[in-house]
Amino acid sequence: IGFFFFSLLQPTDNILPLSYKDPRWEGVEMERFADEADVVIVGGGPAGLSAAIRLKQLANEHEKELRVCLVEKASQIGAHTLSGACLEPSAINELFPDWKERGAPLHTPVTEDVFSILTEKHRIPVPMLPGLPMQNHGNYIVRLGNFVRWLGEQAEELGVELYPGYAAAEVLFHEDGSVKGIATNDVGIAKDGSPKDVFERGMELHAKVTMFGEGCHGHLAKQLYKKFNLRENCEPQTYAIGLKEVWMIDEKKWRPGRVEHSVGWPLNRHTYGGSFLYHLNEGEPLVALGFVVGLDYSNPYLSPFREFQRWKHHPFVAPTLEGGNRIAYGARALNEGGIQSLPKLTFPGGLLIGCSPGFMNVPKIKGTHTAMKSGMLAAEAIFPKVTAESLDSETAGLHVPEYAEALKNSWVWKELYAVRNIRPSFHNYFGLYGGMVYTGIFYWILRGKEPWTLKHCGLDANQLKPAKDCTPIDYPKPDGKISFDLLSSVALSGTNHEGDQPAHLTLKDDSVPVARNLAIYDGPEQRFCPAGVYEYVPLETGDGMRLQINAQNCVHCKTCDIKDPSQNINWVVPEGGGGPAYNGM
C-alpha cells in the first residue's frame, strides 16, 4: 500500500495525450465544433505563409473563391521564428517581385563576407571565393521574425485567414485513412490532467488538402511519418541546434552589412558546428550572432549553450561585443540531412512543406528560400485540384503527388543535389578539415557532380558515447558581460506557458531518465536543452535522483525530442499562445 501511495504522489509527467476516460471527465462536454476550408495550413512560418499567399494569388488571378485557413501556435506571427539570417532573395523575388515597394524588411544587403577557422587564440582567414556555398553576394541580412510578420500581413491582405495562438494538436482522418484536417488543442486542463472550469474542447478544421509546415522536427509530422510510412526510403533526418542572441553594440564597432562565419574553436574537429555574426543595418547598431552545433556529437558532457557562451570570448569576437548590451536570446533545432533525408512528401489528404521535411542547404546555412519555394510549389500543385469542377479522387482527402514532381524539377532540388555530400563528408578521420577539403574539390570545382551519394551516420540520438568513455568539459564561468548563465538567457526569450497545464514534454516511460539517461550518459538533457527545462534533482526522501521537467521554460526548439539517447522524450504541443516571445529573431 505504501508503495502504491508513493507512486500516486509522484508527479506524473506522462499525462498527454489524455485518454479522457478517467472518472474526472464524466459529464464534460466533449463534442468539437467543426468548420470547412478548402486548404488548411499548419504553421505560420516562411513555408506556410508563402503557400497561403501563393494560393490566394492564384485564386485572385483565376477569379476563384478559395478559403485558406492557417493555424500557428505562437501568439503572434513571427513570435516563434528564429534564424541567423542571411536571406537569399530568389524565392521572395518570385513570390513578390515588388517586395521592395511593399515594404519587405530586407534592409541590409551583405557588403562584407568573412570566413575564419578559429583556434583557441587565433584566427585563420579563409578566402570567400565566388562559387563557394557560403558566399553571400546578393543576399540580405534579415531579422526573420520581422520578415515572417511582414509575410503574415501580405497574407491577410490577400484574404488568408490567419489564426495565431491556436496550435494544431491532432491530425484528423477520413474513414478511408486519408487526412481530413486538424484539430486544435483542448485548453483548460489542469496540471494533474483534470478539467478546469474554463475547459474548452479544441476545434476541428476540415480541408480538401492539409499542408503541414511545422518547421524542423514537427510533432504532427512525426505522426504522419508513422501513419503513411513516409520515411521508408530515406535516411533518418540529422539535425543541429542553433542558439542565437541579438546585441546592441557600441556604434564604433558597427559595420552594417558585414557577415562573419567561423568554424573550429571551441569545437574539436569531430564535432560539426560553427558560428555566425551579422551586422544589421536598420537604424540601430544591432548584431545578430549565434552558434550551431551538429546534434550528432558524441560527448554527453557537451553543452551547446556553453560552447556558444565561451565562443564569444574569442579575441576575434569579443571586441565587437565589448561595451554592448545583449537584448535577445533564443534557440531552435535545424535540419541538416539534405536530400538523403527527405521523406515522401505527399499522402492522401496532405503534404509536407518547409523545414519540416527539410530543405535546408547546409553549407550555405540557408533554408528560408527553399522553404518558401516548397510552399509555393505545393500551392501551385494544389490549386487546380481544389478548384476543379469535379473532384476526381480515389480518397476523400486529395492526394497531390504533382507537388513532389514539381519540386524535383525545380531549383530547390538542383541546389540540394549539388551540396548533398558536403555534410556527410565530415565523417572522416580528419573531421572538419577532411570535410573542407572535400568541399573544395567536389563542390567548388566539380559542383557536386560526383556520381556517389554519401550517407549520414544514422539517428543523432544514437551517436552519444557512454559518459564513462568521455571526458567532462571544463567550461569557463560566464562573466556577466559577454557570456551569461542559462536562466538569465531564458528570461530574455520571453518564453512563458500557462502554468496550470499538463507538461508538454512527455515521457514514454517515467523510469527511463534515471535508469538510462542519467546512469549511462550522465543526463545529457541537462546540457543540450537551451532553456534549462531538464534538471536531475535529488529525491525529497532517501537517495537517488529524479528528473524534474520545468516545462514552462521551454522555447520549442525540439532538441530534446531529437537528441534523447533513449528517444523517451516526446514533445507535444502545449496550449496555443505559449512559448517564446521572439521579436524580430
Partner 1 sequence: MHSNRYCNRIIVLPFSVLLEIRVKPDNSGVVTDGVKHSMNPFCEIAVEEAVKLKEKKLIKEVVAVSCGPQQSQETIRTALAMGADRGIHVEVAGKDYETLGPLQVSKIMAALAKKEDAQLIILGKQAIDDDCNQTGQMTAALLDWPQGTFASEVSLDGDKVKVVREIDGGLETIKISTPAVLTADLRLNTPRYATLPNIMKAKKKKIANVKPADLGVDLTSRLEVLKVEEPPQRQAGVKVETVEDLVGKLKETGRI
Stretch that binds partner 1, among 5-13, 145-153, 267-275, 311-319 (CB under 8 A): 145-153
Residue 451: strand, helix, or coil: coil
Query: What is the C-alpha to C-alpha distance for residues 148 and 550, in angstroms, rounded to an integer?
Result: 29
Which residues does 163 contact at the CB level (< 8 Å), separation at least 6? 69, 70, 71, 72
Query: What is the C-alpha to C-alpha distance for residues 490 and 413, in angstroms, rounded to an integer?
Result: 37
Instruction: By CB under 8 A, tell whether 478 contacts partner 1.
Output: no
Q: Which residues does residue 73 pair with via DSSP β-bridges, in sequence order?
A: none
For the bound state, the minimum distance from the C-beta of residue 327 to partner 1, rounded and expressed in Å, comes to 6
Shorter beta-carbon distance to partner 1: residue 22 or 36: 36
Q: Nearest 5°: phi and psi at 140?
A: -125, 140
In Å, how far are 239, 243, 259, 333, 418 from 423, measured between CA atoms?
11, 20, 22, 16, 12
Residue 323: strand, helix, or coil: coil
Catalytic residues: 83, 332, 368, 529, 554, 557, 560
Among 22, 28, 35, 446, binds partner 1 (CB under 8 A): 35
For the bound state, the minimum distance from the C-beta of residue 205 to partner 1, rounded and expressed in Å, comes to 8
CA pseudo-torsion sign 144, 82, 206, 25 = negative
Instruction: By CB under 8 A, tell whether 256 contacts partner 1.
Output: no
> Do residues 361 and 417 lie in contact, with contact meaning Cβ atoms separated by under 8 Å?
no
Binding map of partner 1 across residues 231-250, x = CB under 8 A, - = no contact: -----------------x--
Shorter beta-carbon distance to partner 1: residue 78 or 424: 78
Among 149, 306, 332, 456, binds partner 1 (CB under 8 A): 149
Report the alpha-carbon angle 328-330-331, nearest 5.
160
Identify each DSSP E strand in 437-561 by its residue range: 505-507, 534-538, 545-549
Shorter beta-carbon distance to partner 1: residue 66 or 512: 66
CA pseudo-torsion sign 316, 131, 241, 239 = negative
Shorter beta-carbon distance to partner 1: residue 34 or 445: 34
Cell numbers standing for residue 203: 476545434
Cell numbers standing for residue 125: 582567414
For the bound state, the minimum distance from the C-beta of residue 548 to partner 1, rounded and expressed in Å, comes to 23
Binding map of partner 1 across residues 490-529, x = CB under 8 A, - = no contact: ----x-----------------------------------
CA pseudo-torsion sign 262, 266, 269, 270 = negative
How is residue 496 annotated by DSSP?
Answer: B
Query: What is the C-alpha to C-alpha distance for residues 88 and 5, in angstroms, rounded to an integer?
Result: 59
For the bound state, the minimum distance from the C-beta of residue 182 to partner 1, rounded and expressed in Å, comes to 11
Instruction: By CB under 8 A, tell whether 145 contacts partner 1.
Output: yes
Shorter beta-carbon distance to partner 1: residue 115 or 278: 278
Q: How many CB atoms lie within 10 A of CB 122?
A: 13
Stretch that binds partner 1, among 181-189, 407-415, 449-457, 514-522 (CB under 8 A): 181-189
> Do residues 506 and 13 lie in contact, with contact meaning Cβ atoms separated by under 8 Å?
yes
Shorter beta-carbon distance to partner 1: residue 169 or 461: 169
Shorter beta-carbon distance to partner 1: residue 304 or 478: 478
Strand 34-36 to strand 204-206: parallel, antiparallel, or no bridges (unpaired)?
Answer: parallel
Q: What is the DSSP string of 195-219?
A: EEEEEE---EEE-SEEEE---TT-H
Binding map of partner 1 across residues 79-108, x = CB under 8 A, - = no contact: x-----------------------------
Q: Nearest 5°: phi and psi at 209?
A: -135, 135
Stretch that binds partner 1, among 183-191, 512-520, 523-531, 541-549 (CB under 8 A): 183-191
Binding map of partner 1 across residues 314-353, x = CB under 8 A, - = no contact: -------------x--------------------------
Of residues 190-219, which lie at the interface with partner 1 (CB under 8 A)? 196-198, 200, 202-203
Helix 46-61 × helix 144-158 angle, to 10°:
30
Among 184, 320, 483, 553, binds partner 1 (CB under 8 A): 184
Instruction: By CB under 8 A, tell whether 479 contacts partner 1.
Output: no
Shorter beta-carbon distance to partner 1: residue 262 or 501: 501
Binding map of partner 1 across residues 15-34, x = CB under 8 A, - = no contact: ------------------x-
Instruction: By CB under 8 A, tell whether 163 contacts partner 1.
Output: yes
Footprint of partner 1 on this chain (CB under 8 A)? 33, 35, 71, 75-76, 78-79, 145-146, 149, 161, 163, 166, 184, 187-188, 196-198, 200, 202-203, 248, 284, 327, 494, 581, 583-584
